[in-house]
Amino acid sequence: MQPLTPRLLVTLALVAAGTFVLAAAAATPAVAPLPDDPACTAMDRKFMARAIELVRDSVAQGRHPFSAVLVKDGLVLAEYQNSEDTTHDVTRHAETGLISLMSPKLDRATLAACTLYTSTEPCTMCCGAIRFAGIGRVVYGVTETQMLLVMGLPPGAAPLASREVFARTAPDVKVLGPLMEAEGLPLHVAYWSQHPLRFLPPK
């Protein structure tokens, strides 16, 4: 048997790490992207591309793969990347973080005229923040149910869709999406294959 020299130990560690990465990627469910919402415009694609670029940056840093971009009259007013993992504040989703940052700076009329681009469909908490901020239009990239499939959420989970939340609580908010899911979904695959969820057994 070949002696375990330092160089051989490093080589074995790298091989093991590579095997883990491949196994994790293989364990991530294959999810086909949904078609774009036909109501989305070329301008919507432009700003969603920016949201996806921010997610790509987050994933490269090992951070949660979510972002939000606030736009009015074709100009970006603010951008925010999910900071829950760096702040340890569970309310610091991309949407809530951006709204917390900007709502003291913008009046209600300005917020009502804005579009919020979210790389992934807003959760119910973020929908509430969007509602109370008075943002008039939301365009999301990856559908939440698609993301949950990639995350390996147990079968049977049925989250409330953002359209249903807004229809019941803020029907004036216009919601479009998915958009560019073919570009956004692989970033979730890249992140969650390296950071798999660990589900706790029911108590």
- Active-site annotation, residues: 95
Sequence-distant (≥ 6) Cβ neighbours of residue 75 within 8 angstroms: none
- If we measure between CA atoms, which residue out of 144, 88, 97, 90 comes closest to residue 116? 97
CA–CA separation, 203 and 155 (whole Å): 19
- 3-class SS shares of the chain: helix, strand, coil, % to 5: 50, 15, 35
Tokens 């807004």 -> residue: 166
| Cβ–Cβ under 8 Å, residues 98 and 80 | yes
